[in-house]
Amino acid sequence: MTQKRTFTILILSACAFLMAQAQDYTIYVNPFIGTQTDETGALSGSTFPGATMPQGMVQLSPETEQMVTWDPCSGYDYNKDKIYGFTHTHLSGTGCTDLFDVSLMPTSSEVTPEQLAAADFSQHYSHNAEEAHPGYYSVYLQESGVRAELSSTVRTGIHRYTFPEGKEQTIVLDLDRGTFRGQAYYSGRRSYDIIQSQLRIINDHTIEGYRVITGWAKLRKVYFRAEFSRPFNKRLLMDGSRNAGKSDVVNGRTLRCALSFSPADSRHLTVKVAISPVDVEGARKNMKAEASSWQFDAYTKAAHDCWEHELKRIEIEGTDEQKTIFYTGLYHVLMQPNTMSDVDGRYMDTNYEIKQMPAGQTYHSTFSLWDTFRAAHPLYTLIAPEVASQFVRDMILHHKTYGYLPIWDLWGQENYCMIGNHAIPVVADAILANLPGINVEEAYQAMIESSTRTHLNSPFEIWEQYGYMPQTLQNTSVSITLEQCFDDACVAAVAKKLGRMEDYERFHRRSLFYRNLFDPTTGFFRPKDEKGEWIEGFDPLSYEQPCFVEGNAWQYMWFVPHDPQGLISLFGGEKPFLKKLDENFSLTATSGEINGNASGFIGQYAHGNEPSHHTVYLYNFAGRPERTQELVHQVRTEFYRATPCGYAGNDDCGQMSAWYIFSSLGFYPFHAGSAEYVLGTPLFQRATLHMANGKDFIITAKNKTPERIYVKKVRLNGKPLKGFTLTHQQIVDGGTLEFTMK
Amino acid sequence: MTQKRTFTILILSACAFLMAQAQDYTIYVNPFIGTQTDETGALSGSTFPGATMPQGMVQLSPETEQMVTWDPCSGYDYNKDKIYGFTHTHLSGTGCTDLFDVSLMPTSSEVTPEQLAAADFSQHYSHNAEEAHPGYYSVYLQESGVRAELSSTVRTGIHRYTFPEGKEQTIVLDLDRGTFRGQAYYSGRRSYDIIQSQLRIINDHTIEGYRVITGWAKLRKVYFRAEFSRPFNKRLLMDGSRNAGKSDVVNGRTLRCALSFSPADSRHLTVKVAISPVDVEGARKNMKAEASSWQFDAYTKAAHDCWEHELKRIEIEGTDEQKTIFYTGLYHVLMQPNTMSDVDGRYMDTNYEIKQMPAGQTYHSTFSLWDTFRAAHPLYTLIAPEVASQFVRDMILHHKTYGYLPIWDLWGQENYCMIGNHAIPVVADAILANLPGINVEEAYQAMIESSTRTHLNSPFEIWEQYGYMPQTLQNTSVSITLEQCFDDACVAAVAKKLGRMEDYERFHRRSLFYRNLFDPTTGFFRPKDEKGEWIEGFDPLSYEQPCFVEGNAWQYMWFVPHDPQGLISLFGGEKPFLKKLDENFSLTATSGEINGNASGFIGQYAHGNEPSHHTVYLYNFAGRPERTQELVHQVRTEFYRATPCGYAGNDDCGQMSAWYIFSSLGFYPFHAGSAEYVLGTPLFQRATLHMANGKDFIITAKNKTPERIYVKKVRLNGKPLKGFTLTHQQIVDGGTLEFTMK
């Protein structure tokens, strides 16, 4: 509901509205970008090509795997040639996998009990007979000859199946698909299993049910209601190999049904599947509110229009390839965080209680914060403040029930994936940017408590006692030390703004603890034990140092975004700092280890994973902005392509995309959470940001050609810009940013 | 709430009330009966000695095991000499284990982080320093010198700890206690694990939290609020070995805290712990409604008074030992089914949705129906119709969400333990007995659907196609065939009463399918394959025949309670039937196998498990009532004792107790679900049943001495009773049943 109001507000921005009449930005979105691993098999955006609305609860997409284990975590690999089913929930770009609820798959033959028990209805497909654009996906399934088309509302998946003339028409609904079972390697979880599920035939065109499942999200309850446009005249209901016979309800853990439709009636079958994380009544209400019609094309058009309103928040002038990368990126950024409340506002909180949002408000989840605090959340704050403030409100709700702000919030629950407390920069950004709708006192309280209440991977007594994380007391101690300093700096900045000077002093002091792990002898951040001694066996190239997470000492060396001058001075000034930074981008030596997370290399710089993302902008702080400009150009040219393997690593819920969007506009949230940006180099001759307040911020690049990547001068609203920093306020006030290229 | 209203209604029964002034029945309750395994180690009632209200949600009792695995499933073994903690939820008499939520344990020394991580605060105790009566339990813990006293409201556990003078005072709260982890052998479940939990310090005398756990009950959410009568001045909060430091909240899967209280303040500490299956707000409301006072003794008195009102539903004249066995049995029967809704009426349904009961109504769970349909439920129907009709209503609610009536309902969920659909006789009994408050149409619909919707162990297409369960298609086929026939007879009887003659014909026909598995050659019920051939390798003594569940062919031979004359005719008439029946009680041969369920033998008769329970009454139907009378006398004399090992097998939620209650009154629900009883032999000279309608049914036994066990004649309301059957209506109408003994 709020979703729709948001779009309305945007439509009222007259300028954007009028321009939107002339342009269609959805044509530049290629949902296949990021779905393919490259020739080495190592890199994948892990995105999915299916149909979704912005922040959709339902994200309806095909799986190319019988059981999804790791890569791609989205369930779809462009290199595979078979589709196993269409499920209603997915993660985009993550490095762990979960969801895949309520699978539908059509066949054009009768399904026997033995076949249903075997549960493999996979069929070949070809990319030539596959199509995807925002809110629409379609594929031709070769064995059955069925064309499958998918669309979606926020909480309801819409399917249209076109069967070949005169053939059987069967739909297999599988509640046991998409998950691998058994030991899970995810933080804190041991088993990954369906706890219980139900399928119930309501009448000859309606099925309801649910599954309760434990996995990466510790406990998910997914209720659904499926309505079919035509009556089924036969149905087979089974739990594993147990046939439920004439029973119209089956309970168990491996539930499937096969529904047969009369070929004489029509070749077309439309199916609507609404889901709810609360109860089946929630699913019914969601369908009633969002999907009362049977007009498949109307859903496709509504989804298209909705995406169009979203995408035109930023208008660029560029080549078709640039627009494709840019708008697909924006699409990937805006897919999540996902809607987690029903239309009636009910949701399951972090403590598994059912709660009620105030009327008209929506609760969200999927906060991949170790990734997205860097650029995705700053992008929400900048171009979609009305949803950004909802995300912050939802993080504060998470804090209220759970005790601290989310680390990685999936399906409304904490899974502790990765490290740090990187909701803090997001909340800080919201406060410093004066986002409307934020309860600043509550937000500040949440930041403070999340920075002082010891929790998993955040032992704050140890932090304050030692002034660093001793590796002997806390694993991944160097990474945590660096990232915690950054979070602390964000708290300090907000404390200062609010005049809480005691807090400011405490957190500012903490934000400098990174210095205690810098070893001037080796010129790296290194792990210490609790006696303060360096731990031996340090190898800066190695990815298997337990003091780092998903990176080596080179990649983590630069993570002091809140105090670059302090970092420079650790090296003894700009010159030695620049020598080391240059080496970072040129040293091609490797430890020989295979690391699934580091990819997209320029020397030790690894664009394929997040710790590097701000690093190219560091040259600005040491007087060499042209090197930043070169590297920004190199990264966006080499590591982004308008092809299915267009990303250099996981898109990570839009972070990889958000880097591109900022970096092609010409600035980047180097210090996320500060409501400030540093300059890079623009890619487009002209870009317009339609702010939510109705104002436009227009970025132009004079003399821009593909070859001209260096910035000669910059004027803000006609006056020379001092320094290389742009504030959030300067942008949202509207105006012009004129680059002149050389 | 309803609970309390119930007692009020009873108080208004003037006669009972006045008599209660003179008598205290709770003094005859010995909660230790059933807690001890005998010298062979094989038999245990599996009851617990702790404090509970009738049908309490909270049942607060000590554990003598670090991790409960099997025997005793209640967590308390009288033979053990250490107590590990006091937890708030227990099962009484079951053969599988679960629950044990929120453990508290006092110590009189400081607790270090290492000790809290090791989680063993067990202490020795002696039965000499242990006391239990309804609503009260107390024990002296030797190492700490702490006296622990427990009481309870329906949803709140009340603890009083008295520490030794001048010693430390610490309470350890453990959310990870009582459960074994890992592979579970329970039907349909694979793992048994805590999914997530939380502990939160609310202020210096309040803690809240929850745990979500999967086990025998597939998914339980247990929220709690704990209030302490004095402030704690120190607290240690940990997740396993991870110290949460100064944090006032900890999330994880192995949560414990140690709370220290100043010895200078007082030696006494009272703790109130309310739980909720819905949310922490539910626990708060439960405490507010039920436990606002800090007067421990007031709770003890309230619980005592409540039990007194319950127990005086039946008044007997007998020896102290007889009264002890009788009233302890009545206590064990009335402990469950357990309250499963909060005071505000909210509960979690079978599909894990939060639902709301109508104002003032209570939802119940713990339906161990394969056991309790036999005598425990008929006893509720007879003496506590107002709660019996609630149980039936709750079973129908279960049916509505789950699709069929409960088989074994734990914490509001189906666990499919054992076989049959034995909610059907309970519902039938309610309809045939004209229990008030039953929606007969809904109840009938639930019976029909539970008898026709194929589900786990109930493949009704196979049933109707073959006229028996072929062992090749359904395991435990002979037991299921016999028990399904019985359930079908109950449906048929209700159909007949309601004039649904088509249904009557169908289910009556089904109720006779047992005949298809009778092998006249061997004189046993035997398994067939789907071709109708006897399956070879049949051994009537063996407990490892897969066609039987928890019994051998001898014990199952007699399970045709709905058609004893049909059974007799299968044997070729009374004479050969009696020969076989005599052999049943005399044949001491064994297969040599150890079977944990069969015990309490008289020949092949095994009173320690339920399939035998009606068998002693079979002689009535073949013209030898005196043999029934002898055997009833023998069973109640040999297999019931007023000692901790007083039961011959698991009490199974009161079934073993209910057998004694009926059989000592002089009649028994041979055909449960028929609202009829058959005569045995009375144990007491006089017994009075105070019916809920205000009428009394008085049973007298003229010339009764311990030796006189045979019934010479029986008069009902002064007139000779024809036959050996008594109807429910005859009893509830009030009157006199006069036995004359010989």
Confidence of residue A357 (pLDDT cuts 50, 70, 90): very high
Question: Which pLDDT value is given to residue A3?
Answer: 36
Contacts of B196 in chain A (CB under 8 A): 218-219, 352, 413
Contacts of B353 in chain A (CB under 8 A): 223, 278-281
Is-cis flag, bond preceding A611, omega within 30? Answer: no
pLDDT at A187 over 50: no
The 10s digit of each residue's pLDDT in B551-593 is: 999 999 999 999 999 999 999 999 999 999 999 999 999 888 8
pLDDT at B425 over 90: yes
Going through B595-718 in order, the beta strands assigned E by DSSP cover 601-602, 605-606, 667-668, 676-679, 686-690, 696-702, 711-716
The CA angle B590-B592-B593, to the nearest 5 degrees, is 110
Q: Are A647 and A640 in contact (CB under 8 A)?
A: yes
Q: Are A269 and A173 in contact (CB under 8 A)?
A: no
Q: Burial of B707 by CB count in 10 Å (0-12 exposed, 13-18 middle, 19+ buried)?
A: exposed
The amino acid at residue B203 is N
pLDDT at A191 over 60: no
Question: Which pLDDT value is given to residue B636?
Answer: 96
How distant is the Cα of A666 from the closest Cα of chain B, in angstroms? 42
Between B162 and A184, where is the model more confident?
B162
Q: How far apart are CA A231 and CA A270, in angstroms?
A: 11
How distant is the Cα of A212 from the closest Cα of chain B, in angstroms? 8
- B279 to A268, A421, B52, B80, B206: CA distances (angstroms): 45, 27, 22, 35, 16
Q: What is the pTM of this model?
A: 0.95
Average pLDDT for A446-463:
98
Q: How far apart are CA A58 and CA A273, in angstroms?
A: 9
Q: Burial of B161 by CB count in 10 Å (0-12 exposed, 13-18 middle, 19+ buried)?
A: buried
Q: How far apart are CA A238 and CA A255, in angstroms?
A: 6
- Residue whose entry in the numeric block shows the structure tokens 């065939």: B481
Question: Which pLDDT value is given to residue B348?
Answer: 98
The 10s digit of each residue's pLDDT in A493-503 is: 999 999 999 99
What are the φ and ψ backbone dihedral angles of B710, each rounded to 5 degrees?
A: -90, 140
Torsion of CA B23, B24, B25, B31, to 10 degrees: -170
Q: What is the ipTM of this complex?
A: 0.94
Q: How far apart are CA A83 and CA A81, in angstroms?
A: 7
pLDDT at A521 over 50: yes
Question: Which pLDDT value is given to residue A424?
Answer: 98
Question: Which pLDDT value is given to residue B6?
Answer: 38
Q: How far apart are CA B682 and CA B741, in angstroms?
A: 9
Cβ separation A353–B247 shorter than 8 A: no
- A501 to A100, A508, B149: CA distances (angstroms): 48, 10, 50
Q: Which of A224, A249, A458 to mutate to test the interface with B (most CBs of B within 10 A)?
A: A249
Smallest Cβ–Cβ distance between A402 and the set B193, B251, B413 belongs to B251
Contacts of A532 by beta carbon, 8 Å cutoff, 6+ apart: A466
What does the longest C-alpha to C-alpha distance in chain A come to?
81
The amino acid at residue B548 is F
pLDDT at B515 over 50: yes
User: DSSP assignment, residue A544?
Assistant: -
3-state secondary structure B555-616: HHCCCCCCCHHHHHHHCCCHHHHHHHHHHHCCCCCCCCCCCCCCCCEECCEECCCHHHCCHH
How would DSSP label each residue in B402-453? HSS--SEEETTEE---SSS-THHHHHHHHHHTT-TT--HHHHHHHHHHHTTS
User: Of A145-154, A169-178, B153-162, B647-656, where does mean pLDDT reach its minimum?
Assistant: A169-178
Which run of H or E residues covers position A74? none
pLDDT at A8 over 80: no
Q: How far apart are CA B137 and CA A391, in angstroms?
A: 50
Mean pLDDT over the full length of chain B: 93
How distant is the Cα of A208 from the closest Cα of chain B, in angstroms? 11
Residue of chain B whose Cα is closest to the Cα of A461: B245
The pairing of beta strand A408-410 with beta strand A413-414: antiparallel
pLDDT at A573 over 70: yes
Across-strand partners of A235?
A259
The amino acid at residue B20 is A
Q: How far apart are CA A279 and CA A277, in angstroms?
A: 6
Q: Which of A247, A254, A400, A410 to mutate to test the interface with B (most CBs of B within 10 A)?
A: A247
Question: Which pLDDT value is given to residue A595?
Answer: 75
Interface A-B: count of C-beta contacts within 8 A: 144
Question: Which pLDDT value is given to residue A295?
Answer: 98
| Closest listed residue to residue A331, CA positions, set A185, A41, A479, A136 | A136
What are the φ and ψ backbone dihedral angles of B323, each rounded to 5 degrees?
A: -65, -40
Cβ separation B251–A354 shorter than 8 A: no
Question: Which pLDDT value is given to residue A42?
Answer: 63
Question: Which pLDDT value is given to residue A192?
Answer: 64
Between B158 and B71, where is the model more confident?
B158
- B170 to A626, A672, B130, B533, B679: CA distances (angstroms): 65, 46, 21, 68, 57
Q: How far apart are CA B466 and CA B486, in angstroms?
A: 17
Contacts of B348 in chain A (CB under 8 A): none
Q: How close are the terminal C-alpha atoms of chain A, in Å? A: 48
Is-cis flag, bond preceding A337, omega within 30? Answer: yes
Question: Which pLDDT value is given to residue B67?
Answer: 78
How distant is the Cα of A278 from the closest Cα of chain B, in angstroms? 7
The 10s digit of each residue's pLDDT in B27-38 is: 999 999 999 987
Mean pLDDT over the full length of chain A: 93
The pairing of beta strand B242-243 with beta strand A130-133: unpaired
Q: How far apart are CA B503 and CA B513, in angstroms?
A: 16
Question: Which pLDDT value is given to residue A70?
Answer: 65
